Amino acid sequence: MSTAAGKRVKIKAQKRLGELMREHFVDLDAAAGDPSRKVAWCTSVGPCEILTAMGFEVYFPENHGALLGARRVSHELIPRAVGIGYGAESCSYMTSDIGSTLAGVSPLQEAFGIAGPPTPEVLVYNTNQCREVQDWWGFYGRRDGAPVMGICPPTHVGEVTAEHVSFVRGELERLVGSIEERFGTKLDLDRLREVVALSSQASALWRRVLDTARAHPAAMTFFDGVIHMAPVILMRGSHKAIEYYEALLAELNERVTEGVGAVPDERFRIYWEGMPIWPKVRELAEKFYDLRTVVAASTYCNSWAFEEFDGGDPLEWMARTSTEIFINRDEETKQKFLVEMLDGFGIDGAIFHNARTCPNNTNSRFGMAQRIREESKLPVLVIDGDLSDLRFFSTAQTMTNIEAFVEQLAEYRR
């Protein structure tokens, strides 16, 4: 009964994305079995550029956490991690990933025909997003006897000052020193500059991809974004990511020129604040599609849209981007960013996802949703859920909440 009119257009670049992912993971698997190559694990927000420049193949465990969620197996694996002392309400990326290791299963086996996550020789974290990553890496460090090292930028930062950047740059220098000492290799600053330039280029293209949703109708949705962001995380610092986003951007720009929307007959535009609900991404995408409502922008997908590198000190760029990401900022800075996004993308209402196991990437627990409602004069909805653990999610309740929200948007427009 409630199906959208108009023709749905698939993103053609998705086929290439599938090939890229396969190539990436097969190569990573080969690296793990090749004594002449080294594998490092790293947090998704870096500092992977250092590792790439020092010749490591980089694996991102958060991607594995998201895959476990998307495959709807997290709730079966989390109890295994809980059984060895990890809290059921701590990061479900972490508990499902550790659970998958304990169970000896991984979606990488079925998806790419590889053994599973590669064994790390070093695990590098950045606590700019959360401290949980440090503890998560710690599990594998103890298991594999591999060193766990990283940086801890200042958190709840308002204006990013030279002192902040200098402090984090110092941390990065110490990290480089530790890796050099452990592996007997030197970081080539020119090589790092090259990797950072590639990383920044991919990131800038990614931002332009996301900006195609500023068009009315939006050329892409948040649900497209969470799929197509894979290269900017897994392959940044490589030409592959740049080539991919050039092709994707061209395709989406063509949509904008021709007035083709990701959601045909688009009626409303929504902002998504917080983590995706990975096991329900498809279902939610369908629900919004049926309601002819586009989730045009999100904080999450913007997490990898860094400022551009000017060709100067690569460590300073890394220090600055590590410090100034949204998740690491104070409430005032976050609020300013959100209001600008709501305005810039022509948003009709915002949905805040209260991810029960991810307090750091949840912004509805300290009155932000209410403040955004007051400042933007737009309807705001908070929904309960989680990034991976379906035990915190009620489909019927959430879908009713979303439908009612769209009904509310219709009332606002009358």
Partner 1 sequence: MSAPLFVGIDVGSSATKCVVLNDTRALVGHHVVTSGFDYVEAAETALQHSLLQAEGVKKDVAYCVSTGYGRERVAWADGHVTEITCHARGAKEWYPEVRGIIDIGGQDTKVIRLSEEGRMVDYRMNAKCAAGTGTFLESTAHKLGLSLGELDGLAMESKAHAVVNSYCTVFAGTEVIERIKEGQRLDDIAMGLFRSIASRVAEMLAVRDGALAATGGVAAHCGALIRALEEVLETQVWLPPMPQHAGAYGAALLAAETNVAERSSARHVADR
Beta strands in 70-184 (DSSP E): 122-126, 148-151
Q: Which stretch binds partner 1 (CB under 8 A): 43-51, 132-140, 178-186, 285-293?
A: 285-293
Q: Shortest gap between Cβ of 377 and partner 1 (angstroms)?
A: 11
* Residue 291 interacting with partner 1 (CB under 8 A): yes
Q: Shortest gap between Cβ of 19 and partner 1 (angstroms)?
A: 37
291-311: b (≥16 Cβ within 10 Å) or e: bbbbbbbbbbbbbbbbeebee
Among 178, 253, 360, 401, binds partner 1 (CB under 8 A): 401
Q: Shortest gap between Cβ of 271 and partner 1 (angstroms)?
A: 17
* Residue 2 interacting with partner 1 (CB under 8 A): yes
115-146: b (≥16 Cβ within 10 Å) or e: ebbbebbbbbbbbbbbebbbbbbebbbeeeeb
* Residue 292 interacting with partner 1 (CB under 8 A): yes
Distance CA 239, CA 195 (A): 10
Q: Which residues contact 125 (CB under 8 A, 6 or more apart)?
A: 42, 43, 133, 134, 137, 148, 149, 150, 151
Give the closest residue to 42 by CA, choosing from 126, 138, 116.
Answer: 126
* Residue 110 interacting with partner 1 (CB under 8 A): no
Binding mask 250-269 for partner 1 (x = CB under 8 A): -----------------x--
> Would you tell me how many other CB atoms lie within 10 Å of the CB of residue 225?
22
323 or 398: CB nearest partner 1: 398
* Residue 5 interacting with partner 1 (CB under 8 A): yes
Q: Among all chains, which residue has been given the structure tokens 């480089």?
A: 176
* Residue 410 interacting with partner 1 (CB under 8 A): yes
Among 163, 181, 258, 411, binds partner 1 (CB under 8 A): 411
What residues between 316 and 375 interact with partner 1 by CB under 8 A?
370, 373
* Residue 404 interacting with partner 1 (CB under 8 A): yes
Distance CA 168, CA 325 (A): 13
Q: Which stretch binds partner 1 (CB under 8 A): 166-174, 306-314, 317-325, 389-397?
A: 389-397
* Residue 400 interacting with partner 1 (CB under 8 A): yes
Sheet with 268-273, side-by-side order of all strands: 293-298, 268-273, 349-355, 380-385
* Residue 379 interacting with partner 1 (CB under 8 A): yes
Q: Shortest gap between Cβ of 227 and partner 1 (angstroms)?
A: 26
Cα separations in angstroms, 230 against 63, 238, 304, 308: 8, 13, 10, 19
Distance CA 409, CA 180 (A): 56
Q: Which stretch binds partner 1 (CB under 8 A): 22-30, 192-200, 276-284, 399-407?
A: 399-407
Task: List residues near partner 1 by CB under 8 A.
Answer: 1-5, 267, 290-292, 370, 373, 379, 384, 392-394, 396-397, 400-401, 403-404, 406-408, 410-412, 414
